[in-house]
Amino acid sequence: MAERPVAGAPDRFLLGIALGAVALLAVGIAVVVLFGRGPGAPPVDPGSPVGIVQAYAEAVRQGDSDRARALLSQSARDEADRAKVPFPRQFESSNTQRRLLIEAVEQTADRAHVKVTVSTFSARTEPFSSGTWHREIDVWLVREGGQWRIASPTEPYAFTF
């Protein structure tokens, strides 16, 4: 006569699967905690073309027109004065979120080209709509007195975010 399992006794196979799943979960959590985030991006050199554009965008965002103007080349400041380009005091915040991606495109000894991508995100009520759009700005820089300065565009509104 074959023995029947006692009612209420745990099935060893099912118990093994459950313990294996718990062990895999614990290993997964440990890996994420220990190795989940790689090292952050190194800080941008504030004297590099990317650093100058980043400082300009931050000055515009904070409404620091003196700092923003100081990062323009002399010819760009003169052009802005002739065109009466107003530097904003402070931008109003809205319920949209914006992010800037600043990338070096090319650089020579006295000229540099940087691309700025402004990504705007907003909540939309329509289903399946992202409310996301992107705008690219080409920024040209020149060396003046051994320092990088923005030659164009001179209007601060291009960098609004």
What integer pLDDT is reported at residue 96 of this predicted model?
Answer: 65
Nearest to 86 by CA among 8, 155, 9, 11: 155
Domain ranges of the chain: 49-122+130-156
More confident residue, 36 or 77: 77
Nearest to 124 by CA among 115, 116, 132, 136: 132
Residue written as token pair 């399992």? 5
Please write the tens of the pLDDT for every residue from 101-131: 899 999 999 999 999 998 887 766 677 666 7
Mean pLDDT of 31-51: 81
More confident residue, 145 or 7: 145
What integer pLDDT is reported at residue 45 of this predicted model?
Answer: 85
Is the pTM higher than 0.85? The answer reads no
Please write the tens of the pLDDT for every residue from 52-81: 999 998 888 888 888 988 999 999 888 888
Nearest to 147 by CA among 3, 25, 11, 51: 51
Classify domain 49-122+130-156 at the CATH superfamily level: NTF2-like; domain 1 (3.10.450.100)
Question: First-to-last CA distance in the chain?
Answer: 81
What integer pLDDT is reported at residue 146 of this predicted model?
Answer: 92
- Tell me how far apart the alpha carbons of residues 62 and 15 are, in angstroms, rounded to a whole number: 60
What integer pLDDT is reported at residue 89 of this predicted model?
Answer: 47
What integer pLDDT is reported at residue 12 of this predicted model?
Answer: 84
Mean pLDDT of 16-27: 92
56, 37 contact by CB (below 8 A): no
pLDDT at 92 over 60: no
In Å, how far are 62, 133, 136 from 155, measured between CA atoms?
15, 21, 15
